[in-house]
Structure 1
């Protein structure tokens, strides 16, 4: 401790301001009087004595206390060669001395190639390098921590294991990339931790790990060590079959679920189900109802329940509200084993301003833009990712791959794409910054989405990328190399708005609004669409789907069945938010369960049975989905009978050649001897009738079968004489 340089180093170690503590602490070769000797230094605040031991715990040297704050040093005996060592530390009133590994005895674990890829923005498995990873190095068990914080002067890992003291485990910096790392021996799985960050200006502050795999249950916010290497999957058959087909040519009937409010346990303070309880109840229900996929509102960690998960603070952590990472894997696994796909809502557009999370992570605008005209979302009060920064794009693309890799997700529904594409989204004049050409398009976000979707297509054939995009941006589902954004599917927000607007009209007025039903077919094949009746349509005083329907209770239920039948017949994949399938009367509330008791009412039970039978027919008949995205799969029979508010059309399969005829009556008046042009002559079976008695209907129909007559109508030579049920839809198929 004689040199002035070492004295200065020690002062900086004591105040946790040393730029490179690994240069001082640990085992080093030094020159003493012209002789090379080994020295070991450690900082153990509060310790009364420290010794250096070998791997077996045999004492090698007693360390001298060089500073009363807890700085210890030992010059090892002459001729000693470097060796793996431990520290034997005596704490006041602790009894026997404790053996512990020294974090400063271990070299860097992040390789140069990893660092190069991170800087380039192309590290596709960022979670393998950053975050907290239990591992064994040279026979020593512990946890390796890594974090990107280029604007920090010092970063330390703090946790229960070091009394949350930022002086004890300052990290090693890779200065060119701004990446910090440290391996801490003895840290256990499930240990709580944070990063203590000292910025270049101001005081130190605490942050949760951006790549933490799990966290404390809210409102607590500490990150938690999790080992993701232990779970054994049982869905190999599903994962293999997923890659062999194209979902665009397969049935997709998606059940959208908010996991915290699908079902609760009344006898236990109305708590939500756990992930593993959902793996029984939810999986059985979805399989029974015949949906092909479940889409979860964001399962990523978030602190604020009313955000429904859309304000993410833990992008790599399934929320701990319902269990741990392997519990969520168990749910996905159970769904796959029952032949049900899993889509996750994913939020790369923005993130919340919570102080413990990504906001000004290292004291600078790291993940977000510094300029609030680019970096803040005025409508949502959140921050916008800086898509022009390599490391930020890397964080997000790697995160997307993480859910597909580690949790076997079958697709991601990308939230708020429109807000990403336009620089002036929700902004007035002077509140936004034009792109380099003076336009409103966010060229950096476009490039990010193209890179994202291209990467997913390359790495995970069979996985789906779905855009929630509400504008007329061209080529959302066009391949990126052809100038599109590269998504597989796009939500058809226009169809949703028009369809709900039409159905909310009183039946007597519907004849004036038929364009709302027919307009979607003008653009139905310009993109590959999902037809969504999502959570957004049953919140914020919009009422439930059942509540939107006009008329008395019976008419509301009939209208809902009619709307769902029309939706399933319309070209495009299907998505229905939970509760719609049981005719929920009340608006959705994230703090309470769906109203399952309603199924005691025949009207609600009938809606559910209709949805179950509709899904069964949908999956069985290729005409529904084989040519979803081609005009060859759809043909109007008649859309001109607005006076009687009757609409008819044909869905046609591709290779199968199957045909289905849909006839909709949007009034409560039955139509008798109503002739509809038939695609071909013969006997036509009434496959489904939404007015059938088991669905809560009045049982008006055609006795299960009808036969064409030689009557020219609707441009066809044959016609089907039909009885059209009130507020009902008929689905017919010709008997071979």
Structure 2
């Protein structure tokens, strides 16, 4: 048998995807003594000491570096569970600085950042049914309606502190289940020193932020989600990291985690440092982090943040980077992302990999063998920006910019998309979704309902940021709870009720997700009616009779006797109308059943007439149709 590589050798070669099993601290027995072994990677440090509560933070526990190794190690019996620790690092230039443990699994509460000697007991999971079901289901052909959550500001205690995951288990999960969302996506939960970063400036890549409770509480939360048929996704940031001096930045006094080139290392836009994704040790570190969250917490999917920053050398706002071979591509990032997806899919084929990526130059979703990065989904940021720009516009000018709403139909099958109405669009002066809408308060709610119908019926999976489901007026603030008091207002309550009904409609209608990522899922009826500013299309399921007719009116004029082409003769029934009184509108009765006339409309042989409410949307479903007639006509034409 050939000798297996040591954990250090595999880490050094970029192949140790479970490096957290070796580095950090671990319970150990040495010469009959029970204690802990601590290991840290610091190639150019002159000396490292283990310091903590257990030795009054002094120099009494020097670590040793074995010959031909970049890893420092110590075994000691002094530490006790619950005590704090750090590493005292004498860097290459002789400077001595306290540093966190890069592999720590728990930290003290911010603003402090010492690691805690905390071992997570092995959990007896009860979510086997959920995990078994996901193994045998194809999420591309299933509904995916994501509720995006910032754990620190969904709700708060009376003293202003956020709910822990123990409390979120009792409150957030029933709410998400009642509202009909299929997944919760959390903005980063890993340890970060500044709440205003929303978790995107990380220091602890293996640690749940103690601000939200213990790792065990988060395990219980995920388990409870699965028992209630709710998936859990998390945001993860492998591109850049917090610049704080006591964290990963220039750990041993040299560019260790970051690029050697100071221009490539510095991320001007976010005030952080970029990981050197070409280094095999960094690849081992980051892929280990992803697998840790998947396996320790049974996470269903990972949304990789800021992929464009990893793909392009000129993405940042800083000085121009010298281009490689006349190309702005960062091939280090490109190949790392392919490797990340390959490793995760090999170990966990059913884990959903999502990219937040803003360009169109690189194939993001699809197989690595065909040149893609290997992600399952990509956020459609172009759709989000164009759509919100259109809805913010005065209705009188929308007919001149109708392409903003219809352009996505030209590229909607280029990738497997998630349509995000995310946190980024309701902060920093951008206003809440409800506040973006044109017109008075009544018109704003009418258009918000219209927008959500467009979101739900457009091909692609769905994502909605918390608070948007009832039309919160104020912008999101990361240090304050959502404005739950809004729900005392009848219009906000009706909006929440509408979102709940729409989510249930989406879950129940196969035509909205069964063929989601194939061209057969949609047939455009009329995307050129810019004068009336009305869009109409058909969403289709596998069965011939399984389809929906969607009509969206973006003008404040009710469209009487509105003609719509339909594929089969018969009758069509209205199954959703955004202007019904129960949703906050004025209609008491829905449209009557529409019967076809044999008059051509566009490329259809038949048409119906109906009423489309101002700034509203309606969805029709076949009630009694004859699909054989069309087949006979097609056969005769041949």
Mapping of 1:32-431 within 5 angstroms?
113-137=6-30, 140-166=33-59, 168-265=60-157, 268-427=158-317, 431=320
The match for 2:609 is 721
1:464 to 347, 352, 361: 352
Residues 691, 202 of structure 1: alpha-carbon distance in 2 compared, 3 angstrom cutoff: same
Q: How far apart are the structure 2 equivalents of 1:376 and 1:714?
A: 55
Instruction: Name the CA distance, whole Å, in 2 between partners of 1:593 and 1:656.
Output: 47
- Secondary structure of the 1:156 match is strand
**Displacement after TM superposition at 1:433 (Å):** 2.6
Q: Are residues 161 and 147 of structure 1, via their aligned partners in 2, closer, same or farther at CA, if it must alter by over 3 Å? A: same
Counterpart position of 1:33? none
Provide the secondary structure at the position in 2 that maps to 1:677.
Answer: strand
Cα displacement (A) at 1:137 = 4.8
Following superposition, the deviation at residue 374 of structure 1 comes to 0.9
Per-residue deviation, residues 424-443 of structure 1 (Å, max 9, x unmatched): 11346x631322x2321101
Which residue is 1:685 aligned to? 573
Length-normalised TM-score, structure 2: 0.95
- TM-score by structure 1 length? 0.82
Pairwise mapping of residues 436-515 of structure 1 onto structure 2 (< 5 A)?
A: 437-515=325-403
Q: Residue 656 of structure 1: CA displacement?
A: 7.6
CA contact (8 A) 1:255 1:295 kept: yes
Aligned-residue offset at 1:145: 1.2
Q: Any idea what SS the aligned residue of 2:302 has?
A: strand
Q: Is the contact between residue 565 and residue 608 of structure 2 (CA under 8 Å) also seen in structure 1?
A: yes
**Equivalent residue for 1:594?**
482
**1:212-254 alpha-carbon deviations (Å, 9 max, x no partner):** 0010100011011221233332211112222222212211100
Measured in 1, the distance between the counterparts of 2:534 and 2:317 equals 43
Quick one: distance in 2 between partners of 1:494 and 1:487? 18
Cα distance in 1 for residues equivalent to 2:147 and 2:195: 21
Distance in 2 of aligned mates of 1:139 and 1:619: 59
The 10-residue stretch of structure 1 (192-201 or 177-186) with the greater mean CA deviation from structure 2: 177-186
Displacement of 1:619 in angstroms is 1.1
1:138-176 alpha-carbon deviations (Å, 9 max, x no partner): 65332221111111122221111111112x222232343
1:139–1:614 distance in 2 versus 1, CA, 3 Å: farther
Q: Conserved in 2, the CA contact under 8 Å of 1:261 and 1:272?
A: yes
Distance 1:118 1:621 in 2: 48
Please give the per-residue CA displacement for 1:448-469, whole angstroms capped at 9, x wherever unaligned.
Answer: 0000011111111111111111
Q: Larger RCO: Structure 1 or Structure 2 (Cα < 8 Å, ≥ 6 residues apart)?
A: 2
SS where residue 464 of structure 2 aligns? strand
- 1:666 is displaced (CA, Å) by 0.9
Q: Give secondary structure in 2 for the equivalent of 1:555.
A: helix
Would the aligned equivalents of 1:651 and 1:659 in 2 still touch at CA under 8 Å?
yes
Give the Cα separation in 2 of the matches to 1:704 and 1:221. Answer: 64
Partner of 1:519: 407
Name the SS of the counterpart of 1:721 in structure 2. Answer: strand
Partner of 1:218, secondary structure, is coil
2:322 paired residue among 433, 443, 448: 433
- For 1:376 and 1:150, the matched residues in 2 are separated by 21
Flag the 1:142–1:346 CA change in 2: closer, same or farther, 3 A.
same
d(CA) in 2 for partners of 1:698, 1:544: 24
- Alpha-carbon distance in structure 2 between the residues aligned to 1:203 and 1:645: 66
Q: What is the aligned length?
A: 621
Check the 8 A contact 1:702/1:723 in 2, yes or no: no
Q: CA deviation at 1:134?
A: 2.9
CA distance in 1: counterparts of 2:67 and 2:515, whole angstroms = 54
- Is this contact kept in 2: 1:301–1:320, CA < 8 A? yes
Return the offset for 1:258: 0.4
Q: Give 1:711 deviation, angstroms.
A: 2.7
CA distance in 2, matches of 1:493, 1:667: 25
- Alignment gaps of 5+ in structure 2: 625-638
Residue by residue over 1:625-667, the C-alpha shift from the partner in whole angstroms, topping out at 9 and shown as x without a partner, is 1111111111101112222111100011136862111011111
Query: Counterpart in 2 of 1:107?
Result: none
- Asked whether the 8 Å contact 1:623–1:658 carries over to 2, the reply is yes
The answer on whether the counterparts of 2:92 and 2:252 sit within 8 Å (CA) in structure 1 is no
5+ residue gaps, structure 1, are: 1-110
The structure whose Rg is larger is: 1
